[in-house]
Amino acid sequence: MKTLELSVDTDGEGCRADKFLSGCLEDMTRSSVQKLFESENVLINLKKAAKNTKLKVGDMITVTLPEPEELDIKPQNIPLDIVYQDEELLVVNKPKGMVVHPAPGNYDGTLVNALMYHCKGKLSSINGVIRPGIVHRIDKNTSGLLMVAKTDRAHSFLSEQIKEHSFKREYIAVCVGKFKESSGTINAPIGRSKTDRKKMCVTYVNSREAVTHYEVIEEYNGYSLVKFSLETGRTHQIRVHSKYIGHPVLGDDVYSKPFKGLEGQCLHAKLLGFIHPNGSYMEFDSELPEYFIKVLKRIR
């Protein structure tokens, strides 16, 4: 059994206990978190607590997590668009709508299931059984290039580049509205939303540095085609930052509103640049996918 202790700060004040924990325990579903309360595995200030308890600043939450299940993540013969691969790593072009790795209640049809089949299980073990080989992630409804490590050596080497901000990542997005400046930098820390622990927001409380550079490529009537370059890699960073400056990504049904005929945000991870563990610099660029081109035709 594993025990966690969490202190409630001003961001969590007034939140339901189960909602707060769902945001802290990202790999657990809300229903799984509620079961922790039902099995009396959650204490607040060392007392048994109900899932709907309203939290106060300074509350100490003690969570006893059961031993993880032995998960049987099955390889699946799902077609992959592999841009590059060798003995240490591969770069894959993920389609829109594909989840990157399994999660409770969703163990099939993910990129990891497909990678396990294609790589015959030869993936780095650093991120465990759920996320083998996954060095960085992109959202389900974001398409584009993703790095995968086959060896632990490659995984550590690439992760260090992300940590040092030397891993090059460029995205293309359609954003709502016309930008006042044709280029700029958004330097605003990102943390969990106080009102919805599944969402991120710009906040100066319990947040992490987040820096995004942007450049407007083309303008339309009410929309802009924008290139984003990540200096940091926070959850939903581009989506949160673009919303923050008043130009949300088109179709983002979490941070803005849906766009008819488009499932989720119009955001594509177009370019990856990194130093291979063998010392050579590598860079990959992907074409805009069909769904993205259709959106451009509509707004033009």
In tens, the pLDDT along 174-228 reads 999 999 999 999 999 999 887 887 799 999 887 889 999 999 999 999 999 999 9
Same domain, 296 and 169: yes
Q: How many domains is the chain built from?
A: 3
Span 23-57, pLDDT tens digits: 787 656 667 788 899 889 999 999 999 999 999 99
Mean pLDDT of the chain: 91
Pair of tokens at residue 91: 């770069």
Domain range for residue 207?
165-300
Contact 201, 240 (CB under 8 A): yes
Span 133-166, pLDDT tens digits: 899 999 999 999 999 999 999 999 999 998 888 9
Of 19, 34, 65, which residue is a domain's last?
65
Contact 61, 44 (CB under 8 A): yes
The confidence score (pLDDT) of residue 270 equals 98
Q: How far apart are CA 141 and CA 236, in angstroms?
A: 11
Same domain, 19 and 100: no
Of 142, 164, 186, which residue is a domain's last?
164
Same domain, 34 and 127: no
Same domain, 290 and 186: yes
Q: Is 196 a catalytic residue?
A: no
Confidence of residue 237 (pLDDT cuts 50, 70, 90): very high
Pair of tokens at residue 123: 């993936």
What is the pTM for the complete model shown? Answer: 0.78
Same domain, 180 and 159: no
Q: How far apart are CA 49 and CA 28, in angstroms?
A: 19
The confidence score (pLDDT) of residue 131 equals 79
Same domain, 139 and 245: no
Q: What CATH number is associated with residue 31? A: 3.10.290.10
The confidence score (pLDDT) of residue 69 equals 52
Per annotation, catalytic residue among 9, 139, 152, 253: 139
Q: How far apart are CA 196 and CA 74, in angstroms?
A: 33
Cα–Cα–Cα angle for 68, 71, 74, rounded to 5 degrees: 165
Same domain, 15 and 45: yes
The confidence score (pLDDT) of residue 121 equals 79
- What does residue 35 show for φ and ψ, rounded to 5 degrees? -65, -30
Q: How far apart are CA 31 and CA 44, in angstroms?
A: 19
Of 164, 198, 226, which residue is a domain's last?
164
